[in-house]
Amino acid sequence: MDPQSGVAPIVWLVLLRVAVGLIWLRSGLLKVVGGEYGNYREKLERFASKNPILWYREFMLEQLLPRSLPVGYLFVTAEVALGVMLTLGFLTVPAALIAIFMNVNFRLGCGWQNPSNAPFNYLMIACELLVIFSGAGNHLSLDALLFSAQAGG
């Protein structure tokens, strides 16, 4: 790093990775504390009720709604797990890819209810892409510790 340039650019990308991870972790933990594991049936019914994306509404009604309890556990557990993984930089690229998949599905499933939230989903996806392609998981992370130790010995 050039002393004139200030903080190394990778530090900002690591902070971005941690911030995205903390957003996922907070979202999941709020659902855990609020006991939202068990009431996903009502949520899925509400999300599907007037969803203008017909093929996604059918997917929700036919595939997710009959399995609402395991789907609820999966979503909430995934949010917490992604939060921990991204914050600590553990399996960063797979975690960010799954986070993108979840953001796309959240947007398709319930984005119609509050269109003003759409930019948040898009911003999260952009940040997750930056995490993937910038190598933010290669610095100050468990990935760096595990994979550098593995490569070295």
Task: State the DSSP string of 75-108.
Answer: HHHHHHHHHHHHHHTSSHHHHHHHHHHHHHHHHH
The reply to whether 139 falls in a domain is: yes
Among 24-38, 63-77, 85-99, 121-135, name the one with the lowest average pLDDT. Answer: 24-38
Q: Which contiguous run of DSSP H or E holds residue 16?
A: helix 9-33
User: Which residues span the domain enclosing 16?
Assistant: 8-146
Tell me what pLDDT residue 111 has. Answer: 87
The reply to whether 32 falls in a domain is: yes
The reply to whether 101 falls in a domain is: yes
Query: Which pTM value belongs to this model?
Result: 0.88
The answer to whether the CB of 28 falls within 8 A of the CB of 94 is no
Count of structural domains within the chain: 1
The reply to whether 100 falls in a domain is: yes
- What share of the chain in percent tops pLDDT 70? 92
The reply to whether 118 falls in a domain is: yes
The reply to whether 2 falls in a domain is: no
